[in-house]
Structure 1
Amino acid sequence: MGSPELVPFLSYPRFSESEYKERIAEMESLGITSITLGGRTTLNGVHIAGKGCVGLVVRAKMGDKTCALKIRRIDADRKTMDEEARLHKIANCACAGPRLEGHTKNLIAMEFVDGQSIVDWVGGAAKGRLRKVASSVLEQCYSLDRAGLDHGELSRLNRHVIVSDRPCIIDFESASTTRKTSNVTAAAQSIFLYGAAADRVKKTLKADREKALLALKIYKRDQTRANFNAVLGSLPV
């Protein structure tokens, strides 16, 4: 498994022999047998599944399953992936996020979600399907709010929601259990009011901006189910 083509991904952005060997051992401990290149992100001319400030994401084989493998960058702002894995588990308990398969100091293995970013998906979506997906995203956000987990980046849905058979919120590297949750408010505004996704959604579903903002303001103060239902009622879902 320690083939030369893995070097740029297991030890990024600079090579460290000790880090490379450690990560090979961690892959083996997780039962990772191979990595498959390909995806929407290009790194040094090679396509991979994703790239962020904390890690690179590639497809990997874990037993008989295809998973997404997040590999901590050498220059990441954290020494381990332990905290992100802890937050990811909380998300899973709230029925959100790709299923966590396992983690080590430098790696997180999770369910591979094969789909489109919500912004790309919206363009070809029928009205009924769009309503269902938007409602599902908001229900997942409400579950995260109730669990006390703030995702932190849902104002940029294009990078953090993938739509396949179902919409899936991804990437909990910026999540927190200490700051006030704002998942519903961030996602609702991103889908229906402001930004790239909203600009496309408005062509099919139009929200009453003032009504929606008032409902979100009330919900932000008191995150009850009744107030969340009022948010849903203010939006074309």
Structure 2
Amino acid sequence: MKNAATVPIENLNSEPYSSVVCYPRADSDEIQIRIKELQSLGVEQVEFSGAATAFTLPVMGKGYVGIVAVAHIKGARYALKMQRIDSERESLEHEAELLKLANTVNVGPRFVAVSKRFLVMELIDGDQLEGWLQTHREKVAVKKVLEDILEQCWRLDEISLDHGELSKAPKHLLVNKVDKPFIVDFETASTTRNASNVTSVCQFLFQGNSNVEKEIAAIIEERNRPQLVGLLKNYRRKRTRDAFEDLLSACLT
């Protein structure tokens, strides 16, 4: 892992920081605009750390829309999503609205602040679900985390907020240091699509052929797939709490 660096925002106009803040290429005018936006959000320093990499710097995450670093605000650390300058998105403000909606049912990292190019939110100190499963082999603990994930997906379905990426969810499911799972990254979420969070995450966790599915099956034993298929169809059709609890039982007991 590359060495972390914590940089006062007034120094972000120097390399290699400017190329990451303005990923994928530095722009002298754009970096000044971005420094002013960070100031308006109260950000004092940006910490470049994490398991991903942007050029020569470690970062928390890197995607098609943004780079995630760490913001230091009044002595506290927060996740800082920085919009890529080649992103097709007009701003991060729509994503922020969807995150705030998820927060109303206690899903997602807590929203803190947003500007056109930056989104500040709660920093989840933990690991992706796959990594967490590799170090947590206790059946009871694993079932508790999986149940929490499924319940969060139920709550998202109830408010008709479709995450959009949970059928291929390895980067979108994090577990913190006290074994609390979080659904993250609402950049492709929608309130106009049919919400299918429960069915998508069930397929990822219990029916796919991913490393996560294999780890779960090794710990809690493989689920009855034909039964799951039937219960998923029943849930899609009825979308009731009873149908969800039948599915939950098949997934976890």
1:56 corresponds to: 67
- Of stretches 72-81 and 2-11 in structure 1, the one that deviates more from structure 2 is 2-11
CA positional deviation for 1:223: 1.4
1:90 corresponds to: 101
Counterpart amino acid of residue 186 in structure 1: S
Which of 107, 110, 113 is matched with 1:99 structurally?
110
Structure 1 portions without partners, runs of 5+: none
1:213 corresponds to: 229
Equivalent positions of 1:80-229 (< 5 A) are: 80-125=91-136, 126-164=138-176, 165=178, 166-194=180-208, 195-205=210-220, 206-229=222-245
Percent of matched pairs sharing the same residue? 35
Q: TM-score, normalised by structure 2?
A: 0.91
Question: Secondary structure at the residue paired with 1:32?
Answer: coil
1:36 corresponds to: 47
2:33 corresponds to: 22
CA positional deviation for 1:60: 1.3
How far apart, in 2, do the equivalents of 1:210 and 1:230 lie?
Answer: 14
Structure 2 portions without partners, runs of 5+: 1-8
- Of stretches 26-35 and 4-13 in structure 1, the one that deviates more from structure 2 is 4-13
Q: How many residues align?
A: 237
CA positional deviation for 1:212: 1.1
How far apart, in 2, do the equivalents of 1:37 and 1:106 lie?
Answer: 17
CA positional deviation for 1:53: 0.3
Counterpart amino acid of residue 204 in structure 1: I
How far apart, in 1, do the equivalents of 2:105 and 2:20 lie?
Answer: 31
Q: Contact 2:128/2:175 (CA < 8 Å) preserved in 1?
A: yes
The superposition leaves residues 140-181 of structure 1 with CA deviations (integer Å, 9 ceiling, x where unpaired) of: 000011011000001122110111120000000010110001
- Of stretches 140-149 and 39-48 in structure 1, the one that deviates more from structure 2 is 39-48
How far apart, in 2, do the equivalents of 1:119 and 1:157 lie?
Answer: 10
Instruction: Kindly report the root-mean-square deviation, in angstroms, between the aligned alpha carbons of the 2 structures.
Output: 1.1
How far apart, in 1, do the equivalents of 2:238 and 2:188 lie?
Answer: 23
Question: Secondary structure at the residue paired with 1:77?
Answer: coil
